[in-house]
């Protein structure tokens, strides 16, 4: 299973969904993978038709569940590298 998001007419990189993400909701997983693919909070919000605050809340919830403090730590945990 993977994830694809269109941002500004461009398709972001498809990432496989790592096992570490099983405890996240579908929205948390989608937003986190988009963020780790390089999309900004504003870009993700536009692509998902939600507010940037909603994206931020979903990201922080995902970070809490993963036990990390932000995108860089999440990238190392999920992708094995920094974004």
Tens-digit pLDDT string for the chain (83 aa): 455 566 667 666 555 556 567 789 989 989 998 998 889 999 999 999 999 999 999 999 999 999 999 998 988 887 775 55
- Domain with 11 in it: what CATH number? 1.10.10.10
pLDDT at 23: 85
Is the entire prediction scored with pTM above 0.85?
no
pLDDT at 56: 97
Give burial (CB, 10 Å; 0-12/13-18/19+) of 2: exposed
Q: Pull the structure tokens for residue 5.
A: 């998001």
Q: Contact 34/12 with Cβ under 8 angstroms?
A: yes
Angle, nearest 10°, between helix axes 52-66 and 26-36?
100
Domain count for the chain:
1
How crowded is residue 19: how many other Cβ atoms within 10 Å of its Cβ?
A: 8
Full domain range(s) for residue 7: 2-79
pLDDT at 82: 52
């Amino acid at each position: 299973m993977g994830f694809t998001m269109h941002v500004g007419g461009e398709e972001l990189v498809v990432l496989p969904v790592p096992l570490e993400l099983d405890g996240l909701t579908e929205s948390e997983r989608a937003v986190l993978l988009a963020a780790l693919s390089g999309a900004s909070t504003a870009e993700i919000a536009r692509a998902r038709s939600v507010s940037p605050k909603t994206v931020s809340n979903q990201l922080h919830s995902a970070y809490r569940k993963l036990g990390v403090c932000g995108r860089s730590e999440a990238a190392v945990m999920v992708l094995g590298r920094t974004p």
